[in-house]
Amino acid sequence: MKKLLLVRHAKSSWVDFSQTDHNRPLNKRGLEAAPVMGQRLLKKQITPELIVTSTAYRAEATAKILAAELGLLDKIISNTNIYEAGIGNLLEVIYGLNNDFGHVMLVGHNPGFTMLANYLQNDRHIDNMQTCATALLSFDVDSWSEVKSGTLLDYDYPKNQP
């Protein structure tokens, strides 16, 4: 059994247009939403063993905030292949995960994450993974390279009232 937690980065700032897209920070709303989502994950006992994040500043910041809430600050790795990735590149990242890990969080971006969430399950169509949304998927496989269609176990986003 493998579990994959997809997390879209928290809301980012568009105030400074001189910044590259890769270097945009989180805005106030994003800085408030990320710890709340981390606390929700903890309350639901959704605790991955590893966090793999895009190298974009806003994704890494989101990953660090979530990791702090989950006690996983030493379990974050960055992967350049997640930034601006489509389904194919994201699947390559998943297929390349170490099989020693049974539950992994990926932190990244739209539109790729929404497309991937829908590609990997048929339980619920997700129109748009909002910023800081989480989608937990399970797969009845032993190896990450076998991941295909799974089950959506949980979908949440900051404006969702628990």
d(CA 113, CA 84): 10
Q: What is the DSSP letter of 113?
A: H
Which residues make Cβ contacts (< 8 Å) with residue 96, sequence separation at least 6? 144
CB 139 within 8 A of CB 123: no
Take residue 117 and report the two structure tokens written for it. Answer: 């969430």
Take residue 123 and report the two structure tokens written for it. Answer: 């339980």
Beta-strand relationship, 50-53 and 76-78: parallel
AA letter at 92: E
The verdict on whether residue 58 carries a ligand-binding annotation is: yes
Give the residue among 102, 98, 141, 101 at the shortest CA–CA distance from 120: 141
| Known binding positions for substrate | 58
| Known binding positions | 58
